[in-house]
Every structure is written in structure tokens, then in C-alpha cells.
């Protein structure tokens, strides 16, 4: 259920284009039942407390398995373990803590969360060709965000020259009165199976800073990169979280996604996460509908 609330004008103005206009309306207000949960009846410690008959749970069963969870952003235990994994393998320049994560039913949903809360309907996201065609559905079906394809005209899509093609397409969109909000990268890349060099990732960050765009990086294949005897000089994986955003772009506009499907060979286990280390307002907006 989505919680619609009215916010003071000062808060709406303070969002500074870091979330979409519609996301502001979904910033959740703490439900009243939390007041009840904080004042539950107990025969000894709280004999005047509330006896709650309004919560659909069975306290006679295992609390861990059958009662409500411990928050709207994912299990605290899961998020703590996830942070340990990401801090070990992503080499983040800022250590990842649980408040940076929003757990989702798969990375596709994590991307759709970005579509809902960073874009408004008919906004566009720049995606280089070739790309996973499901991006069109993830961004478009419910959120109404349009994928705007970037063609490289024979240029290596992992080169510095390719970054200029994104700016070219952005300027073309401006002439068409289209609103581009973000660049979306898949790193490691699907379907090309290559990784972006560090200097190229920094160039994308710099371009996003120049144009005021969000940088969304799908890192679902992060741990599925192996040495290749036939390609000794293959570029290794670099997480966007390992690069310092300050000085290149607004750190509030850097967002990464990761999940269990690919690296753990568990496609049916729908667990993903969205990592946004500097945009608390964005993560807060997701609590209203994720």
C-alpha cells in the first residue's frame, strides 16, 4: 500500500531534482499502528498497554518466520550480511552500511524503483546499444519512462569516445524538448560480456555532473567475471561504488544495483538490492510503494 502525504513547500523545494515530483508524494508517514506496537500490553511490564487485535500475524508460530519484518527496506540481518559482501568485493570508497541499501524482489524491481522515484512519466533514460531489451519493460510499463538508445557508429562502446555519443544523444533530446534524467549502464555488460575501464566510468560520472543527470549502474554480474586465457589484457570489473563521485558529479545521483540471480546461480530467488549512499530522500521515497 502506498502512503500519500502532503509535504511542506520547503521540503518539496529542497529535493533539488534528486527525486522525481511523483516520488515526493510517496514519502511515507509513519503509520499509526507503530504507536500501538510501541505500547503493547504485557501483564507485568505494561499492564495498561494496548491489546492489539488489528494485526494479521500469528505470535504462536516462529516470530522470525511468520511475524512482520523489521522495516520497509529489508531484513536488518540480510542488509548487514549484504554490506559485508559488498564491502569485500566492491571495494567502495565509502564503506557501505545498511542505511545505504533498499532490498527488492530482484534487480529488475530495483531498477523499476529508480524509474518511479528518479523519473516522471515520459522522461527518458539513455542506454547504449546493444542492451538487455527488458530495460524497455522495466522502465516503461508501469513507470512510463522511455529508453532512449545511444548508437556508437562503429566506436568501441567501452571507450572514452563512446561517452561523447551519450552527450550527442542528450543534446538531440533537448532539441526535441525531451527530458533526459539519467544514463543507465550495465557493468559488467550484458550482452557484450565486457567491463568498463576506470577512466571511462569516471568520464560517465563527469558527463552526468556536467548535464545534471543520474548515473544508474546495474552490477548484477559483478562477481561473474573470470580470467580468460585468450584475453590476458581483459579489463577487470570496477564497481561504480569504488570511484569517488565528489568533484565529478553530485554523489546523490549515483545508484548501483546488485542481486543473487546471476552471481549465485539462483535466478528463482528473487532478492536484489539498490545501493544509494548519499540520497536518503530517494531511499525514503521507496518505502511508500516498494
pLDDT in tens, 164-212: 999 999 999 999 999 999 999 999 999 999 999 999 999 999 999 999 9
Average pLDDT over residues 2-27: 60
Query: What per-residue confidence (pLDDT) applies to 37?
Result: 80
pLDDT band of 2, cuts 50, 70, 90 = very low
| pLDDT tens for each residue of 36-56 | 888 888 889 999 998 877 766
User: Residue 243 pLDDT more than 60?
Assistant: yes
| pLDDT tens for each residue of 113-140 | 999 999 999 999 999 999 999 999 999 9
Domain ranges of the chain: 76-286
Q: Do residues 144 and 170 lie in contact, with contact meaning Cβ atoms separated by under 8 Å?
A: no
| pLDDT tens for each residue of 62-84 | 666 666 667 788 889 999 999 99
Phi and psi at residue 184, to the nearest 5°: -115, 125
Rounded to whole angstroms, the Cα distance separating 70 from 209 reads 36
Read off the pTM.
0.81
- Chain centre distance of CA 19: 12
Average pLDDT over residues 261-278: 90
What the block records as the C-alpha cell of 113 is: 524503483
pLDDT band of 279, cuts 50, 70, 90 = very high
- Chain centre distance of CA 217: 8
CATH of 76-286, one of 1.10.10.1100, 3.40.640.10, 1.10.10.10, 1.20.1250.20: 3.40.640.10
pLDDT band of 19, cuts 50, 70, 90 = confident
Q: Choose among 281, 277, 256, 247: nearest CA to 93.
A: 277
Q: Is 45 exposed, middle or buried (0-12, 13-18, 19+ CB in 10 A)?
A: exposed
Q: Choose among 198, 246, 237, 245: nearest CA to 218.
A: 237
Strand order in the sheet with 180-186: 101-104, 272-275, 254-259, 214-218, 180-186, 124-128, 146-150
Q: Which of 69-83, 123-137, 223-237, 276-290 has the highest mean pLDDT?
A: 123-137
Q: Are strands 272-275 and 101-104 parallel, antiparallel or unpaired?
A: antiparallel
Percentage above 90 pLDDT, the chain: 67
More confident residue, 4 or 282: 282
Query: What per-residue confidence (pLDDT) applies to 136?
Result: 96
Query: What per-residue confidence (pLDDT) applies to 10?
Result: 45
Residues 57-96 as b/e (b if ≥16 CB within 10 A, e otherwise) read eeeeeeeeeeeeeeebbbbeebbeebbeebeeebebeeeb
More confident residue, 142 or 290: 142
Mean of per-residue pLDDT scores for the chain: 88
Q: Do residues 188 and 194 lie in contact, with contact meaning Cβ atoms separated by under 8 Å?
A: yes
User: Residue 88 pLDDT more than 80?
Assistant: yes
Average pLDDT over residues 94-100: 97
Amino acid at each position: 500500500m502506498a502512503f500519500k502525504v502532503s509535504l511542506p513547500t520547503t521540503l518539496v523545494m529542497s529535493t533539488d531534482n534528486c527525486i522525481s515530483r511523483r516520488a515526493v508524494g510517496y514519502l511515507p508517514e509513519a503509520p499509526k499502528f507503530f504507536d500501538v506496537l510501541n505500547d503493547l500490553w504485557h501483564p507485568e511490564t505494561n499492564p495498561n498497554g494496548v491489546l492489539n487485535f488489528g494485526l494479521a500475524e500469528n505470535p504462536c508460530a516462529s516470530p522470525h518466520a511468520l511475524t512482520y519484518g523489521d522495516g520497509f527496506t529489508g531484513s536488518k540481518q540480510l542488509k548487514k550480511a549484504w554490506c559485508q559482501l559488498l564491502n569485500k568485493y566492491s571495494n567502495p570508497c565509502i564503506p557501505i552500511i545498511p542505511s545505504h541499501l533498499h532490498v527488492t524482489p530482484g534487480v529488475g524491481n530495483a531498477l523499476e524503483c529508480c524509474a518511479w522515484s528518479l523519473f516522471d512519466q515520459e522522461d527518458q533514460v539513455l542506454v547504449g546499444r546493444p542492451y538487455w531489451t527488458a530495460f524497455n519493460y522495466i522502465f516503461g510499463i508501469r513507470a512510463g519512462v522511455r529508453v532512449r538508445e545511444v548508437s556508437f557508429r562503429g566506436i568501441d562502446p567501452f571507450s572514452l569516445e563512446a561517452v561523447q555519443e551519450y552527450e550527442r544523444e542528450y543534446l538531440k533530446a533537448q532539441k526535441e524538448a525531451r527530458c533526459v534524467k539519467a544514463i543507465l549502464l550495465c557493468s559488467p555488460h550484458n550482452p557484450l560480456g565486457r567491463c568498463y575501464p576506470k577512466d571511462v566510468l569516471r568520464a560517465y560520472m563527469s558527463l552526468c555532473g556536467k548535464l545534471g543527470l543520474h548515473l544508474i549502474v546495474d552490477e548484477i554480474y559483478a562477481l561473474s567475471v573470470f580470467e580468460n586465457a585468450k584475453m590476458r589484457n581483459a579489463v577487470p570489473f570496477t564497481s561504480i561504488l569504488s570511484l569517488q563521485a565528489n568533484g565529478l558529479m553530485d554523489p546523490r545521483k549515483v545508484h548501483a544495483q546488485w542481486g543473487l540471480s546471476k552471481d549465485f546461480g539462483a535466478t528463482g530467488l528473487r532478492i536484489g538490492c539498490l545501493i544509494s549512499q548519499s540520497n536518503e530522500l530517494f531511499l525514503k521515497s521507496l518505502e511508500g510503494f516498494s
